[in-house]
Amino acid sequence: MGIDVTKSYLPPLEEYVGYLAGIWERAYLTNSGPLVLELERSLKEYLGVKNLLFVNNGTIALQIALKALDLKGEILTTPFSYVATTSSIMWEGSVPVFVDIDPKTLCIDASLLEAAITPKTVAIMATHVYGNPCDVEAIEALAKRHNLRVIYDAAHAFGVTYKDNSVLNHGDISTLSFHATKLFHTVEGGAIITNDDELAHRISYMRNFGHNGPEAFWGVGINGKSSEFHAAMGLCVLPKVDELILRRRELSERYDAHLVSTGVRRPRIQEHTTRYNYSYYPTVMPSEEVLLAVRDALNAADIIPRRYFYPSLNTLEYTGHQPAPVSEEISTRVLCLPLYYELTDEEVDTICAILKSALQA
């Protein structure tokens, strides 16, 4: 079997089956069941956040965030992210305005935001790329000056802290993805985090069709709820997260040692990041030509890295071409190498040997 860019952590089967036995006994499968409520409580405690609402995926989390803040207009966003960041803005009837990225952190360049503001600008949606925090203080100072809302796509930032505080506590809303490929997962899932109690109350209705009791409706809603089965997986995975992060850190440091003096660059972690989660191992190759040579050499050995994120979202046909030269250039050179809990030291050594051989060819 080959080595993929990631591999989902699965808990011991008997642990998951133990939760299933309770689900079978209660015959309560969804609609804010006891396991969903337990997972929400556990996640709030682990992450150090005030309000957290578990939903069925990270994209619906973004869409509900946009709807809950009643955003219609231009939203400043990053071209270097997964497509859901942009597609959620467009799906909800707003216009993504792309602001280029910092070439070192790969997050949105906060120094460029002000120049992109127009009378139609209503919000900023920034991504903590690979779990690397954005310049949250600069973004929020700007938003305050211009009366803009801030949403952080924190899909990669589970457990990340900035100045010893959860990075999720920044902005009006932060969203998480609990997709199977993530550090913490519920197979499919996500969460919406906010410090605003009134906003959290509104979101609680919106994720459940707008229901306010069985025969009343608070307003327009959507089906964003998740099931007891997904919550059960989360409850099995959550106690393991610290160990998962530790192992990913060890593997990342092994990669780092191999790649010193190769010309392969790594993104710079934002200053004052007090806990990073090692959710990915992104490399910036010297050129796209080199990237393709490295990828092909690894693929020939049944090792599958990923061009993550490629292409730059501002180049997608349906977004209209808005220039973002740094993102466009960087996106041709970023390659994420395999990183997951069960990856062995020897496999990292093999990957790096092939990579270095390709670099020298």
Asked if the model's pLDDT at residue 282 lies above 80, the reply is yes
* Res 221: pLDDT: 87
Q: Which residue has the tokens 């959710």?
A: 279
Q: For residue 153, what are the contacts with CB-CB under 8 A and spacing of at least 6?
A: 62, 81, 84, 85, 125, 126, 127, 128, 175
* Res 352: pLDDT: 98
pLDDT bracket for residue 315 (50, 70, 90): very high
Taking only Cα atoms into account, the Rg of the chain, rounded to an integer number of angstroms, comes to 21
Cα end-to-end distance, the chain, whole Å: 27
CA 342/CA 284 separation, integer angstroms = 24
* Res 135: pLDDT: 98
Contact 193, 49 (CB under 8 A): yes
Instruction: Express each pLDDT in 238-280 by its tens digit.
Output: 999 999 999 999 999 999 999 998 999 999 999 999 999 999 9
The token pair at 189 is: 């899932």
The token pair at 31 is: 């609609």
Question: Is CATH 3.90.1150.10 the classification given to domain 241-360?
Answer: yes
Instruction: Express each pLDDT in 328-345 by its tens digit.
Output: 999 999 999 999 999 999
Q: Which residue has the tokens 């998951």?
A: 16
Contact 190, 59 (CB under 8 A): yes
CATH architecture of the region 13-239: 3-Layer(aba) Sandwich (3.40)
Contact 79, 106 (CB under 8 A): no
Asked if the model's pLDDT at residue 217 lies above 80, the reply is no
pLDDT bracket for residue 321 (50, 70, 90): confident
Domain coordinates in residue numbering, the chain = 13-239, 241-360
Asked if the model's pLDDT at residue 210 lies above 90, the reply is no
* Res 215: pLDDT: 77
Instruction: Express each pLDDT in 132-187 by its tens digit.
Output: 999 999 999 999 999 999 999 999 999 999 999 999 999 999 999 999 999 999 99
Range 43-72 average pLDDT: 98
Average pLDDT taken over every residue of the chain? 96
Instruction: Using DSSP, state whether 291 is helix, strand or coil.
Output: helix
Sequential DSSP letters for 225-246: ---HHHHHHHHHHGGGHHHHHH
- For residue 294, count CB atoms less than 10 angstroms from its CB and return exposed for 0-12, middle for 13-18, buried for 19 or more: buried
Alpha-carbon torsion, ordered 270, 274, 275, 276, to 10 deg: 10
Instruction: Using DSSP, state whether 215 is helix, strand or coil.
Output: coil
Quote the distance between the C-alpha of residue 251 and its chain's center.
20
pLDDT bracket for residue 211 (50, 70, 90): confident
Dihedral sign from CA coordinates of 156, 158, 163, 165 = positive
The token pair at 168 is: 């999720």
Q: Which of 80, 84, 85 is nearest to 105 (CA)?
A: 80
